[in-house]
Chains A and B, each alone.
Chain A
Amino acid sequence: LVDESMPKQRSHRQIPEGYNYTEYHPMEEIYKWMTQIQESNSELVTQHHLGKTIENRTIYYLQISQPSNKPKKIIWMDCGIHAREWISPAFCQWFVKEILQNYKSDAMIRRFLQNLDLYILPVLNVDGYIYSWEAERLWRKNRSPYMNGTCYGTDLNRNFNSSWGSVGVSYNCTSEIFCGSGPESEPETRAVAQFIEKKKTDILCYLTIHSYGQYILTPYGSTTTPPSNNEELMHVAQKAAAALMGKHGTSYKVGSTSSILYSNSGSSRDWAHMIGIPFSYTFELRDNGTHGFTLPSDQIQPTCEETMLAVTTIIDYVDQKYFPGGAVMLTSGTLVLLHGCLKETDLV
């Protein structure tokens, strides 16, 4: 349900009707929200089945796609890989709302939607998220049973096939960073990995949203060897952090996971970059430890507002890089065509 009565200038008060984006929502409400978002914005949004969780729940993603004849490239963003990081799914929902409210009026969004499709996964670890609502607020992993059901949960962000099991993990199911019985042992991991693998030639940007700590993290966690496009990755991340800070003064640290956070293998972001997705980032949202995972809901709005600026900075950069000077991908062929058509064509 998109609150279309929201004025273009963002007020600080949330209008009572419609979905409340400044509150945390349990999974049942998020499922309903996805259905309603698609129904109210069917020209732009479609809901898709990604896979099933270990407890047989459905994992859905939303595709935001401006109808067009052109082939598009893809921006992927997932939230809620770790159950207790509630601000993460809250941000994915906020992001979708913002795009849908502003795509007609905001020039930057309008521009990139001409070239890019946005694939948003609001809650990856559905079982874990539900468990954090119903049983244990600080649960992190999925709900995969091990050792005859005496131990539960794999850390999905240690379960991807990126130097799996080599550093910053545990082989013991009782650990919060248990990497699973093998790379992609978990259905949630496989659901994401298989989809992204299939679409990887079209995916320009992989974003994964976590909390807390206030970081924009670049590859890698599994090694200190920098990625081939490190300079550019860092430059864009710093731009994003600066944009973020401009909103409410929140400072984010920027750097590779292995140098500023800790070493870890099997992360989704490392894997995405390793299979060739050039702009891969992990966000760790507010705060810096005062509330940690239990970020009060009065911080949802400011967190989402500032993070929105960071994410759109990245998307905008990617858009300008791969679709420079207009809505056309400049290959040598199209360059010749453009030249001839320039007089007639209205280049937006």
Chain B
Amino acid sequence: MKRSKGSATHRHRALPVLLLLLSAQLPRPAVAEQPPWAPGVERALDPSSRLAVGAARVALHNYNFHAASPSGLRALGQVRKATVKSIPGVGQKCYLQFTTEDYRSRENAGSCLATVLYPKKKSPPAVNIKCINTKDQKQIQEEDNRLYQKLKRQTKPITGSNIPDSFGNIEPALEPVWALAVAGSSYMMWEKSTEKVGYFMTQVKSVKQWMRKDDSLEFDYVILLHEMPTQEMISCHMRLIWLPGHPLKVKYTCDSENHRLEDGSGMESGSAAGIIREREENF
């Protein structure tokens, strides 16, 4: 996928076609997975199936990263419609319609249309996503600005650990820092996801602010990602730079985990330690 530059807008070139396809009445398969399917044929997916739900989550990771908004984070509500097409030599493409909730409050946040292409070759899924906003965007921006100002006002570098703690508590002062971690982690989770492997951000193990002379906020994180279905906790080191209204800058490296599943699926997670994945945008 061509990386977008500039502000966080979402692709919607494929949208008219997407809408047409989703509105078509497609037959339901008897069993969710039954290889081999004829290439190029789009088939309906059970909206509860892990392929559909997993793809929706990947689309949302992409959305949350590009939105770069700690106040505007979304979680998956329900998948309403899903289809998948096998593209020979390229990969599997999912077409999705799903509802979303506010990441924290679980309030309805509007629905999204998305396509997720899982490439055959090991590389990040390609995502197109467009969402409706039930929350006033201006309000979200104002909340982001408020968070930003609160953090900017700190004269000493912000530090923290175990956010949330064992009991699920997040200190109110550290909530923005946690929310930024979710936004930044979304980049890592998007890149690492495949049809078979998915992620959730579990905890900020530690955070340390790097004071900057310019207007941006910079944080150094150790993040724990919950990997499915291996159930592993993957530790990642993430450097994040944020300025409201601008794309997030994220650099990361995750601990290598080499857990093969005993079903020949050849699923290996994590990147080799020492390789830094970089995602920088020019403002």
Interface window among A142-150, A293-301, A313-321: A293-301
Set of chain B residues within 8 Å of A24, measured between Cβ atoms: 167
Query: Interface-forming stretch among A30-38, A114-122, A163-171, A337-345?
Result: A163-171
* B200 lies within 8 A of chain A by Cβ: yes
Contacts of B76 in A (CB 8 A): 288-289
Given A155-B231, A177-B231, the answer on whether A291 and B50 have CB atoms closer than 8 Å is no
**B17 on the interface (CB 8 Å rule)?**
no
Q: Assess the A169–B262 pair: CB atoms within 8 A.
A: yes
B49 touches A259 (CB 8 A): yes
Check if B22 is an interface residue, CB within 8 A of chain A.
Answer: no
Q: Which of B224-265 contact A (CB under 8 A)?
A: 224, 226, 228-233, 259-263
With contacts A169-B262, A294-B202 taken as known, whether A137 is within 8 angstroms of B166 at the C-beta atoms is yes
Given contacts A260-B50, A260-B53, A290-B104, contact A296 B164 (CB under 8 A): yes
B195-238 interface bits toward A, Cβ cutoff 8 Å, 1 = contact, 0 = none: 00000111100000000000000000000101011111100000
- Smallest CB separation, A153 vs chain B (Å): 11
A262 at interface (Cβ–Cβ under 8 A)? yes
Closest B residue, CB atoms, query A171: B262
- Asked if A14 is at the interface of the complex by the 8 Å CB criterion, the answer is no
Task: Give min CB distance, B228 to chain A, whole Å.
Answer: 7
Q: Give the chain B neighbours of A291 by CB distance below 8 A.
A: 164, 168
Interface members, chain A 292-336 (any B CB < 8 Å): 292-297, 299
Cβ of A102: which chain B residues have Cβ within 8 Å of it? none
Secondary structure at the B interface, as helix, strand, loop or mixed, is: loop
| Bound Cα distance from A68 to B203, whole angstroms | 50
Contact residues, B102-144 vs A (CB, 8 A): 103-104, 106
Partner of A176, one of B49, B169, B232: B232
Chain B residue at minimal CB-CB distance from A299: B168
> Would you list which residues of chain A between 247 and 279 have a CB under 8 Å from chain B?
251, 253-255, 259-264
**Contact A289 B75, beta carbon cutoff 8 Å:** yes
Chain A contacts for B224, CB-based, 8 A: 138
Q: A167-B263, A172-B259, A296-B169 are in contact. Are A288 and B233 (CB under 8 A)?
A: no
B31 within 8 A of A: yes
Partner of A294, one of B33, B77, B164, B262: B164
Q: Pick the contact of B263 from A166, A260, A295 — CB < 8 Å?
A: A166
Docked Cα-Cα span, A20 to B32, in Å, equals 44
In the complex, B271 has a CB within 8 A of chain A: no
Q: Does A194 contact B (CB under 8 A)?
A: no
For A40, the chain B residues whose CB sits under 8 A away are none
Does chain A have a CB within 8 A of B7?
no
B77 (CB) vs chain A CBs: closest residue = A251
Q: How far is the CA of A165 from the CA of B261 in the complex (A)?
A: 10
Decide: B33 and A224 in contact? CB cutoff 8 A: yes
**Which residues of the other chain, A, contact B201 by a CB distance below 8 angstroms?**
289
A140 near B: Cβ within 8 Å? yes
Render A168-183 as a binary contact track against B, CB cut-off 8 A, 1 for contact: 1111101111000000
Contact of B171 with A by CB under 8 A: no
Minimum CB–CB distance for B196 against chain A, Å: 8
A172 to B48, CA, bound (A): 31
Q: Which residue of B lies closest to A261 (CB)?
A: B50
Interface centre among B46, B229, B231, B261 (most CB of A within 10 A): B231
| Docked-complex contact A262 and B228, CB < 8 angstroms | yes
Query: What 0/1 pattern do residues 59 to 88 of B give for CB contact below 8 A with A?
Result: 000000000000000011110000000000
> Which residues of chain A are near B232, meaning CB under 8 Å?
175-176
Say if the beta carbon of B280 comes within 8 Å of chain A: no
Q: How far apart are A342's CB and chain B's nearest CB, in angstroms?
A: 46
Decide: B32 and A169 in contact? CB cutoff 8 A.
no
Residues of A within 8 A of B31 (CB): 224, 259
Residues of B within 8 Å of A251, CB to CB, are 77-78
What is the CB-to-nearest-CB distance from B181 to chain A, in angstroms, rounded to a whole number? 13
Known: A293-B202, A294-B165, A296-B164. A168 touches B263 (CB 8 A): yes
B259 touches A170 (CB 8 A): yes
Question: 25 pairs across A/B with beta carbons < 8 Å?
Answer: A137-B166, A138-B203, A138-B224, A138-B233, A170-B261, A172-B259, A177-B231, A224-B32, A251-B77, A254-B48, A255-B49, A259-B31, A259-B32, A259-B48, A259-B50, A287-B106, A288-B75, A288-B76, A289-B57, A290-B75, A292-B226, A294-B167, A295-B168, A297-B167, A299-B168
Binding site for B on A (CB under 8 A): 24, 133, 137-138, 140, 155, 165-172, 174-177, 224, 251, 253-255, 259-264, 287-297, 299
Q: Which 6 A-B pairs have the closest CB atoms?
A: A296-B168, A262-B229, A176-B231, A289-B200, A294-B168, A167-B263
Given A175-B230, A294-B165: 15 more A-B contacts, CB < 8 Å: A138-B203, A166-B262, A168-B263, A169-B261, A177-B230, A255-B48, A260-B49, A261-B50, A261-B229, A263-B229, A288-B76, A289-B57, A290-B104, A292-B226, A294-B166
